[in-house]
Structure 1
Amino acid sequence: MNVRSSAQVAAPTALALTVAVLAVSSSAPLIAFAAAPALAIAFWRNGIAVVVLTPIALGPRRAEVRRAARGPAGVFSVLAGLTLAAHFATWMPSVQLGSVATATALVATQPVWQGLIAAAQGRRLPAAGWIGIGLAVAGAAWATGVDVGVSAQAVFADVLALLGAMAAAVYTALGERARVELSTTTYTWICYGTCAVVLLAVCLAFDVDLGGYDGGTWAAILGLVAGAQLLGHSMFNYALQHTSATTVSVLILLEVPGAAFLAWWWLDQVPRAESLPGLLLLVAGVAVFILGQASFKLIRR
């Protein structure tokens, strides 16, 4: 491939990654801004996404949806939807109860939890992977320890964010199993649909207000759907066709400073100075873990 064609491939990929990072970085600030219960926001972002995807899922993808309903891929998609609901039901409240910077950093530990799940299944982790886990855990402990001196609510928000990261790790593992047989559209339609139904049931059971919001809140919810829910993930999936999963995983970590900047610029949320070293250590640990995993896979090949 000549230099000109390489540049033509690199430019769209770089643009896609830039849009994706900006889209996912807006998620936590939009949640914090919205004057609505976190569980209701979680329901609407999934429910509206399902409405957008339905014409495709029940149109061109209808035969695939029928096959999924009769096979294990459909089961994995439903299970992924259940764990996605658990992820949203824990992480999104953590954003409203605590700070955007801390909640985003703690939920970014998802790859670490996936690594620990793999280790529990008997898979070998490289030394760099364990070093990354150690750094990430130390950073999380530092940031959470700072919040102990702030309030019990801040600590509770940290715990919810960590639970959200664990749920996201399980969600990703189940999604990988489903994606072996299913297209992105079919998988996400089933997954988001399951998630929306579960969250709706929870909202109704606990009498969570699902409407009556102001225009700014509805705009924030629509921004979540168009940005993090549809556009962000779609751009990352596009980029995966032209670059490595490791590159994408590391770039996703830019969501942490991106969300912190937006929260400072837009919501006047200034990260606590005492927590910054811990958050930086956490992000560095996750990056070391991801890069260590990638190097280990290359060596084994």
Structure 2
Amino acid sequence: MTSISRVGKSIYLLFFVGIIAISFSSIFVRWSEADVAVIAMYRLFLTNLVMLPFIWPHRHEMMRLDFRQWALLLASGVMLALHFLLWMGSLRLTSVASSTVILALEPILILAGSVWLFKAKINRMMLIGMGIALFGSIIIGAGDFQVAGTALKGDILSLLGTMAVAVHMLLGQFLRTGLSAFSYNFWVFLVAACTFAVYNLFMGHAFGGYAASEWGIFLLLAIVPTIFGHYLFNWLLQYMNATTVSMGVLGEPVFSSLLAWMLLGESLSTLQMSAGVVILFGVWIFIRYGKTKPQPVPADAPIAAPGSVEPKTV
């Protein structure tokens, strides 16, 4: 095992890019007037469409999966769809701060699952870093939590969505050991999109007739939080453990709340902004002292600064 610092500055950059990217998701969802299941469906189908030009080098691997891999991909895709449905639905019922702060539970759920399934090792500094980040997350959402009406329902939906994405990430760690990032993401996104298609058909949601602005939002969701967020985090699973990758979600309340304040006019106090600094400090401690697998950076890395990472070995 080796410290994440050995892999070079590009990994930190990728991780930070992913945090910023997923933070835009709640803003785009708020801008759209379509049903959240329709938003998620086209978000994922458009993501696969963007990935199609790059599918040729991976065509053989993508069709050589065994029964176990197909079963895990199916389960992972359904869990991702469930996460989007529940979490995006929560944004219609509660504030961005409340919804995203509940996602801070994700690393705890994944840490517990990693210890159980992968015998992951944790140290005191990792727990301290997680505790600091969670404390900051609670401060961000504390002034906005409500225990009545639609806000409570929204908070519950966000919690259930967090549980679903934790399962998705753990399944991803199983699959990423023998599958490239591209193949894994393409199939998982496609399964999730088809799950939404069936759901929307059953619910009677319209598949067309949306304004050009709505299609623009769907495309933004596909490119920004999905490609530069979820795809990037799934790629990092081959280099970082699921718990470490999931710590990125603790940065989401910080940037989502800032974006909601700037773009949606939601309130953000000085205390909440200070809590954002606390969260980022906690995430830094966790990553700085966390342990990860000593693998070289693969050739398909989205960003790889020359000389900043270890060369790939065969």
| Structure 2 CA distance for aligned equivalents of residues 159 and 274 of structure 1 | 27
Root-mean-square deviation (CA), in Å? Answer: 4.0
Q: Is the 8 A contact 1:73 1:182 kept in 2?
A: no
1:207 alignment partner, one of 204, 207, 213: 204
Could you tell me how far 1:286 is from its partner in structure 2?
7.1
Structure 1's 144 and 206: CA in aligned 2 closer, same or farther, altered over 3 A? Answer: farther
User: Residues 297 and 14 (structure 1 numbering): CA distance in 2 closer, same or farther, change over 3 Å?
Assistant: closer
Report the number of matched residues. Answer: 285
Q: Please name the residue that 2:39 is paired with.
A: 41
Correspondences of 1:134-149 after superposition (within 5 Å):
136=134, 143=141, 147-149=145-147
Q: Deviations over 1:87-140 (max 9, x none)?
A: 111111112221112212211321111122245559475556666469848965
The equivalent position to 2:28 in structure 1, one of 27, 30, 33, is: 30
Q: TM-score, normalised by structure 1?
A: 0.77
Matching residue of 2:108: 112
Residues 75 and 180 (structure 1 numbering): CA distance in 2 closer, same or farther, change over 3 Å?
Answer: same
Superposition deviation, residue 215 in structure 1: 2.5
What residue is the counterpart of 2:73 in the other structure? Answer: 77
Q: CA separation of 1:191/1:111 partners in 2, compared to 1, >3 Å: closer, same or farther?
A: same
Whichever residue aligns with residue 199 of structure 2, its letter is V
Greater percentage in helix: 1
Establish whether residue 255 from structure 1 lines up as the match of residue 257 from structure 2: no
What is the 5 A alignment of 1:71-220?
Answer: 71-119=67-115, 123=119, 126=123, 132=130, 136=134, 143=141, 147-149=145-147, 151-220=148-217
Q: Choose the corresponding residue for 1:230, options 212, 227, 230.
A: 227
Q: Is residue 246–residue 294 contact of structure 1 (8 Å, CA) maintained in 2?
A: no
Q: Offset of 1:20 from its aligned partner?
A: 3.3
Give the letter aligned to residue 52 of structure 1.
V
1:14 and 1:293 map into 2 onto residues whose CA distance is: 14
Deviations 1:201-228 (A, max 9, x none): 1111112233322232221111110111
Tell me, which stretches of 5 or more residues in structure 2 are unaligned? 1-7, 295-314
- What are structure 1's unaligned runs of at least 5 residues? 1-8
C-alpha distance after superposition, 1:121-177 (max 9, x if no partner): 59475556666469848965994795335x421111111111111111110111111
